[in-house]
Amino acid sequence: MMRESLMRQLLNWLKRRWHKFWSEDTAPRMPKRSKERDKEWMALEISQKRSHMVLGALVGIFVVCFLRAGYLQCFNTEFLQKQGEVRYARTLEIAAGRGQIFDRNGVVLAASLPARSIWATTNLVTATPQQISELSDLLGVSERTLQKRLARKDAFVNLARQVDMDVVRRVQAMHLEGLTYSPDVKRHYPGGEVSAHIVGFNNREDHGQEGVELANDKTLTGQNGSRRVIRDRLGHVIEEMWTQEPVPGKDLHLSIDSRIQYIAYSAVRNAVEKHQAKAGAVVVADSITGEILALVSWPGFDPNDRSTFVFDKIRNRVVTDTYEPGSIMKPFAIAKALDMGIVRPDSLIETAPGSIMVADRKISDTRNFGLLTVSQVIAKSSNVGTVKIALQIPAQTLWETYSRLGFGQAPQVGFPGAVAGRLRPAKTWGPVEQATISYGYGLSTSLMQIAQAYTVFARNGDVIPLTLMKQDHPAAGEQVYRPEVARQMRAMMMTTVHRGGTASRLKVTGYTVAGKTGTVYKVKNGEYVKDYVASFVGVAPATQPRLVVAVMIDEPKDSGHVGGVVAAPVFGEVVEAALRTLLVNPDDPMMVAGGGLLARTTH
C-alpha cells in the first residue's frame, strides 16, 4: 500500500512539473478572466500547428527526392545514359554490299549501286507544306506518311531507303535542317525484262524474293556493318566511327548467255503478240553440260520498277506452271519399245480406220493414216500408232522409264518454286491410263522437265540434270536408253520437219534439227475446253546435238493454234540464231555442199 501511494505521488509531481514546463516555455501566458484574450490564444495555437504540418510535409518531400535521386544514380544509371546519348549519338546499321550476278560471259545481270538512306531528327526539321509535298514526290512517299513520321516528338526516323544518288542531290538542294544521309545500296538489273524471270528481284531489306536472288540469298547476302554517329544540336554529323565493317556477299556466275537470252525473249514475245496468246515460254539448254543458256517467260516485268510486279507477270512459267504435254511425250514410249526390241524404226503399224477402242475409250487420230512405219508414227504424230506400241510395254516398265527421265519429280535447277508435276503410280494405271499417258494426257509436267527429259535424245540415251550455274565440265547422266536408240529416235524426229510432218513449216538455215510437236486441249473446271497449249521440243544440230530447246505457247487465238504452226517457228528462230552465236558449224548436207550460209535449206 505504501509503495502504491508513493507511486501515485510521484506521478502527480511529474504531471505538475510537465504542466509548468509547457505553460512557461512553450505556451504564451494567458491573461486571466478575458474572453478576447482567449480567442487570440486559440488562433495563435492553430497557426503554430499548421506551420508544423507544412514543415513536416516539406521534410517528407526532400526525403523522397533524396531517395529517388539515390535510386536513379545507383540502380538506373545505364538507362539514363542511353537516354542522354539518344540526344546526340546514333548507331546506324550499314548494309553490306550484295554479291553481283553475272552471265556466263561476265555480263552483269544484277548489281548493287551506291544509294542513301535519309533520316530525320524530327525536332530539328522545319518544313513548309510546299517542301513536304516536294519531298514526297522525290522520295516516292505519301505526304500523309511523311507528316506522320515528322510529327513524332524528339525522334530519329527513317524517311526513305535506297534513294538514288541523283534524288539525294535534289533533296540536299532543298536545304532542310535535321536530315541525315547514311550510306546504303540499291539493287539494279541492267537486263530489265529480258532476264527478269531468271535473276528475280529483292525486297526493301535487300533480300531475294524471286528467282536466283531468292534461291541464292544466303550466298549473295553479306554481313552488315554498323557505324556510330555523333551529331550537334542542329543534326550535323561532327564525328563518326565504324563499330563493325560490312562484309560483302559472294558473286554468282550463271550459265545464262545474255545474247541467246535476248534472242529467245524476242522470239517468244513476238509469237505471243502475233497469235494473241495468253502467255509463252522457252528454255534453251546445252546438251553437253546441262547448262541453261536461256530461260524466258512472257508476259514479263521490269525488276527495276515495282509497279510492274503483278503475279501473272512475275511467275516463271517454265518451272512453276504444269500442263498436259500432249504429243511431245510420244517419243519416250516409242523409244522404250525400240530399246526393248518390241519394234524397229521400219516396223509397220496399222492405224486404220483412224481410231482404236481401249476398254470403253475411243482414241482417234486427226485422220485415217492407214499403215505407218514407226518413223511415220512420229512424223505424223499418230495417237493410234503410239497407243498400239505403248500397250505392248508393261505398265511398271513404262512408269519407271518416265520416272528416270524426271517426270513426277521437281527438277533440281537451283530455282525456287520448281514443281514436280503429276505422274501416278503404275499400279493405278488401267489400259486407258497407259494409253493416254503414252500420248501426253493423264499426266502433268513443266516445260523445264520436258527440256531435261529431251536431253536423253540429244545424248547417247542418258538424261542429265539441268542447271542455272556455269559449269566447267560435261555433265554425268543416267542411262535410260541404249545409245543406238537415241540415234534412231533423232533420225525419226527429223522427219517431223520434212514434208508431210507435223512441223513442215519449220525453217532453219544451215542446221539439221529433230523435234516433236504438241497440241493439247486445256482443262478448266475439270473439263477439256477448246483452249490449246501449243508446243515444240527438239535438238540441234540433229547429227551432233548441242542444244535442246523447248517452246510453249499458251492459248493462241489468232493465226493458228497447233504446235507446228505456233511453237515450231519460235524453235527455228531461236535455234538458228543461238547456234550461230555459239559458232557451231553448219551440218546440213546441202549447206555444206553449197559452200556455206548462202545456200538455204528448207525442212
**Residue of 136, 203, 194 lying closest to 170 (CA atoms):** 136
Question: Catalytic: which of 112, 182, 255, 327?
Answer: 327
CA–CA dist 197, 522 (Å, integer) = 24
521 grid coordinates? 486441249
Q: Which helix (H) or strand (E) holds 108?
A: strand 108-121
Beta bridge partners, 6, equal none
Cβ atoms within 10 Å of 423's Cβ, excluding its own: 20
Indicate if 297 belongs to the active site: no
* DSSP per-residue letters across 212-262: HHHHTHHHH--B-EEEEEEE-TTS-EEEEEEEE--B----EEBS--HHHHH
Beta bridge partners, 204, equal none
CA–CA dist 41, 336 (Å, integer) = 127
Q: Which helix (H) or strand (E) holds 156?
A: strand 156-163
β-pair type (252-253, 101-102): parallel
Per-residue CA distances from 142 to 133, 137, 146 (Å): 8, 8, 6
Looking at residue 427, the DSSP 8-state letter turns out to be G
Radius of gyration over every alpha carbon of the chain, rounded to an integer in angstroms = 42
Angle at 205 between CA 203 and CA 211, to 5 degrees: 35
CA–CA dist 496, 545 (Å, integer) = 17
CA–CA dist 56, 63 (Å, integer) = 11
CA–CA dist 520, 424 (Å, integer) = 19
Give the HSE-up count for residue 277: Cα atoms under 13 Å, Cβ half-sphere.
30
CA–CA dist 366, 439 (Å, integer) = 13
Assign 141 to helix, strand or coil: coil
Structural contact between residues 122 and 178, judged by C-beta atoms closer than 8 angstroms: yes
58 grid coordinates? 516539406
Residue 465: exposure state from Cβ atoms within 10 A (0-12, 13-18, ≥19): middle
Alpha helices in 240-310 (DSSP H): 258-274
User: Hey, which residues are catalytic here?
Assistant: 327
